[in-house]
């Protein structure tokens, strides 16, 4: 069986086969990868514990699939094209051969610094090629990487390092993003005050920001590379890994306060990201593929690094932001590097659309053959603008629905092969068995229905556990509905059987495509000494998709509301990161609570949305009068 599906008829046939004979299907797909030893058993599973094992008995290293196996034929093909933040700085190209050399070199740096198979390494780097090198070097020697997005605070880094007991941190002096410089090393220094497990910090030079290097703990990336060079640059053969050995941990927000360390393992993740990448985008051998995500999120892991590289693709990574120096930057990059496939987020599309068509006009986008979106539901207006202005009406848009926990795309069009409808993720990819259930877990059959989206059969890229706390994994994903993986998303299946994701049904916000738990933001707000209690909900935001609305009971807000607002924002930035700062803070004297003390978020959500005409039944509230006061306050904020 070829990896790429070429017609709708073939999709239907293969989908059918993948459901009837999943193990045979995935074994055939897995044949397209390089194994040191093949599996004894394709799949072992139950969703009770859960216990999920793919390709047991197989031995492999994902970097041999992403690098070594391509070098013979594709050695001089660009693996990574790097476009810097500043358009006047030179871009960089790393061919497959060069990337392999650099990964081996840095693998030896890690080894020289005492890192061995199974050790956890925290990576807090800007979007530079060394980030890809660091990630792959960890994978090469069997160390487990935990990449932390550059926008997170010292506290968030410390929590993640401590949760995984990381022994080493890889960071840079600083990072460039638009007009901003972020002092990464200094943020790491603040974090490490709380981290006992870290023995070594490797610091890359990027911005030349002054940094304090601690003797015995901190070393420069460049010095460590020189040491390997003086050792004669020995090769670093890839560590042979078991199929279910841990590949990485990536933290993500859920409905409870503490981010979870989602665990992905070697074989299944490799097969799944490679298969879904090549299919959904129908990648052709000479195409340049540009994903605008940050590697700090799952999209960057799966679809900048592992998926494209395992398929021998040219993956373009961008250090900066879409609106600097102006809102034409992405289109300049497309023109400059003759990008064929562009994969971005609805929030970026909306903000560039709002900036005006003058930034697109005159740019040569004729190389574009396929477009993709990810991260949140896309509104029809943005979809059509993307289709018309960027794709010129001839590039299929793949609206890829998936999650950190799913490893790769679950529901998505296959470009040019399966149909597309604006706002729809369309049909499940082969091997994926979605079902809709009602509140009681009853399956909702047929078409023209909506419900909570679950998956009833394992796929190779799925979450295996939450690091250090398997019970949490079970409770969050596998206990809400018996024998199903619960996604946390609401979904509609239309008359044609096409899927449309309607958004989270739990207390998770999606702000500019970033997942943020309301409880997490509340915890951060509550850290402020003037705050007694708070409740956070999302509300529709024209660019971000969702904005963060905080209702806060404060002890002294009457002195100066605006100052208190700024202080709360500062607190949230410190505790989580600037991405979690509330867009609106409303001071209230009480929150609508049930007699059992539960906050009625439904009411707060409606008020935040500005839809107060029908708040539903408020008679069960402890103090119904508080609702009128909150309504009035909200009017004033609007």
Nearer to ligand 6R9, 78 or 377 (CB): 377
Tell me which DSSP letter residue 622 carries: S
Nearer to ligand 6R9, 400 or 420 (CB): 400
Nearer to ligand 6R9, 281 or 551 (CB): 281
Transcribe 35-90 into DSSP letters: -SB--SEEEEEETTTTEEEEEET-EE-HHIIIIIHHHHHHTTSEEEEEE-SSTTSP
Nearer to ligand 6R9, 328 or 451 (CB): 451
Helix boundaries (H) for 90-153: 96-112, 129-141
Helix boundaries (H) for 444-582: 470-473, 518-526, 561-575
Q: Longest Cα pair distance anywhere in the chain, in angstroms?
A: 77
Question: Which strand (E) or helix (H) includes residue 114?
Answer: none
Minimum gap (Å) between residue 251 Cβ and ligand 6R9: 10
End-to-end CA distance of the chain: 57
Beta-bridge mates of residue 541:
545
Rounded to the nearest 5°, which phi and psi values hold at 398? Answer: -100, 115
Residues that bind ligand 6R9 (CB under 6 A): 252, 297-299, 374-377, 399-404, 425, 487-489, 501, 503-504, 510, 513, 515
Nearer to ligand 6R9, 106 or 343 (CB): 343
Rounded distance between C-alpha atoms, residue 265 and residue 472, angstroms: 18
Helix or strand or coil: residue 450? strand
Rounded distance between C-alpha atoms, residue 516 and residue 213, angstroms: 33
Minimum gap (Å) between residue 408 Cβ and ligand 6R9: 9
Minimum gap (Å) between residue 190 Cβ and ligand 6R9: 25
Rounded distance between C-alpha atoms, residue 493 and residue 69, angstroms: 41
Minimum gap (Å) between residue 269 Cβ and ligand 6R9: 14
Rounded distance between C-alpha atoms, residue 388 and residue 391, angstroms: 6
Nearer to ligand 6R9, 55 or 401 (CB): 401
Rounded to the nearest 5°, which phi and psi values hold at 397? Answer: -100, 120
Q: Length of the chain in residues, anyone? A: 638
Residue nearest to ligand 6R9 (CB): 404
Tell me which DSSP letter residue 579 carries: G
Nearer to ligand 6R9, 268 or 372 (CB): 372
How far from chain centre, in Å, is Cα 40? Answer: 32
Nearer to ligand 6R9, 515 or 565 (CB): 515
Minimum gap (Å) between residue 118 Cβ and ligand 6R9: 25
Minimum gap (Å) between residue 459 Cβ and ligand 6R9: 15
For 448, the token pair is: 């023209």
Minimum gap (Å) between residue 510 Cβ and ligand 6R9: 5
Minimum gap (Å) between residue 74 Cβ and ligand 6R9: 28
Question: Which strand (E) or helix (H) includes residue 540?
Answer: strand 531-541
Beta-bridge mates of residue 585:
550
Nearer to ligand 6R9, 162 or 255 (CB): 255
Rounded distance between C-alpha atoms, residue 123 and residue 131, angstroms: 8
Rounded distance between C-alpha atoms, residue 582 and residue 572, angstroms: 8
Nearer to ligand 6R9, 78 or 538 (CB): 538
**What percent of the residues of the chain are helix, what percent strand, and what percent coil, each to the nearest 5?**
35, 25, 40
Minimum gap (Å) between residue 600 Cβ and ligand 6R9: 23
Helix or strand or coil: residue 146? strand
Q: What residue has token string 């794709």?
A: 391
Minimum gap (Å) between residue 409 Cβ and ligand 6R9: 8
Minimum gap (Å) between residue 299 Cβ and ligand 6R9: 5
Minimum gap (Å) between residue 247 Cβ and ligand 6R9: 17
Nearer to ligand 6R9, 191 or 293 (CB): 293
Nearer to ligand 6R9, 301 or 337 (CB): 301
CB-CB contact of 159 with 184 (8 Å) = no
Rounded to the nearest 5°, which phi and psi values hold at 55? Answer: 60, 40
């Amino acid at each position: 069986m070829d990896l790429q599906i070429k017609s709708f008829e073939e999709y239907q046939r293969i989908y059918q086969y993948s459901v009837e004979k999943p193990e045979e299907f995935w074994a055939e797909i897995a044949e397209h990868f390089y194994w040191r030893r093949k599996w004894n058993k394709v799949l072992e599973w139950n969703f009770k514990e859960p216990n999920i094992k793919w390709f047991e008995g197989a031995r492999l290293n994902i970097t041999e699939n992403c690098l070594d196996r391509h070098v013979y034929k594709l050695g001089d093909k660009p693996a990574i094209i790097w476009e810097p933040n500043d358009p006047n700085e030179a871009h960089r190209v790393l061919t497959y051969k060069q990337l392999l050399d650099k990964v081996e070199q840095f693998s030896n740096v890690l080894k020289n610094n005492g890192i061995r198979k199974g050790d956890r390494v925290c990576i807090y780097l800007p979007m530079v090629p060394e980030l890809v090198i660091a990630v792959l070097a960890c994978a090469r020697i069997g160390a487990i990487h935990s990449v932390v997005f550059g926008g997170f605070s010292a506290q968030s880094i410390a929590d993640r390092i401590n949760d995984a007991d990381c022994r080493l941190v890889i960071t840079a002096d600083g990072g460039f993003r638009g007009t901003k410089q972020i002092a990464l090393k200094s943020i790491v220094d603040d974090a490490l005050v709380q981290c006992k497990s870290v023995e070594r910090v490797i610091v890359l030079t990027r911005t030349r920001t002054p940094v304090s290097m601690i003797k015995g703990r901190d070393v420069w990336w460049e010095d460590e590379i020189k040491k390997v060079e003086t050792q004669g640059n020995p090769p670093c053969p890839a560590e042979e890994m078991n199929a279910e050995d841990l590949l990485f941990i990536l933290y993500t927000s859920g409905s409870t306060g503490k981010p979870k360390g989602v665990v992905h393992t070697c074989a299944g993740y490799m097969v799944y990201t490679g298969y879904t990448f090549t299919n959904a985008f129908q990648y052709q051998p000479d195409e340049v593929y540009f994903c605008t995500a940050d590697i700090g999120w799952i999209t960057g892991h799966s679809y900048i690094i592992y998926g494209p590289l395992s398929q021998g693709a040219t993956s373009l990574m961008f250090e900066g932001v879409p609106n600097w120096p102006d809102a034409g930057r992405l289109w300049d990059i497309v023109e400059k590097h003759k990008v064929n496939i562009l994969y971005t987020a609805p929030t970026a599309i909306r903000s560039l659309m709002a900036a005006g068509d003058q930034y697109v006009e005159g740019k040569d986008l004729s190389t574009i053959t396929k477009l993709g979106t990810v991260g949140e539901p896309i509104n029809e207006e943005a979809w059509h603008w993307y289709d018309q202005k960027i794709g010129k009406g001839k590039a299929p848009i793949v609206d890829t629905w998936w999650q950190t926990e799913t490893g790769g795309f679950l529901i998505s069009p296959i470009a040019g092969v399966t149909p597309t409808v604006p706002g729809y993720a369309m049909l499940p990819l082969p091997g994926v068995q979605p079902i809709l259930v009602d509140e009681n877990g009853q399956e909702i059959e047929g078409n023209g229905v909506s419900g909570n989206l679950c998956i009833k059969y394992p796929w190779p890229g799925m979450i295996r556990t939450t690091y250090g706390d398997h019970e949490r994994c079970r409770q969050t994903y596998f206990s809400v509905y018996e024998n199903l993986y619960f996604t946390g998303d609401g979904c509609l299946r239309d008359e044609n059987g096409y899927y449309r994701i309607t958004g989270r049904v739990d207390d998770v916000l999606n702000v500019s495509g970033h997942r943020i738990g309301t409880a997490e933001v509340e915890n951060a707000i509550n850290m402020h000494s003037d705050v007694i209690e708070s409740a956070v909900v999302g509300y529709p935001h024209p660019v971000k998709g969702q904005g963060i609305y905080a209702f806060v009971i404060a002890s002294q807000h009457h002195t100066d509301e605006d100052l208190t607002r700024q202080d709360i924002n500062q607190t949230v930035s410190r505790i989580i990161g600037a991405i979690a700062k509330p867009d609106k803070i409303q001071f209230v004297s009480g929150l609508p609570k049930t007699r059992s003390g539960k906050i009625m978020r439904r009411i707060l959500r409606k008020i935040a949305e500005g839809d107060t005409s029908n708040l539903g039944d408020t008679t069960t509230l402890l103090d119904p009068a508080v609702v009128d006061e909150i309504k009035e306050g909200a009017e004033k904020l609007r």
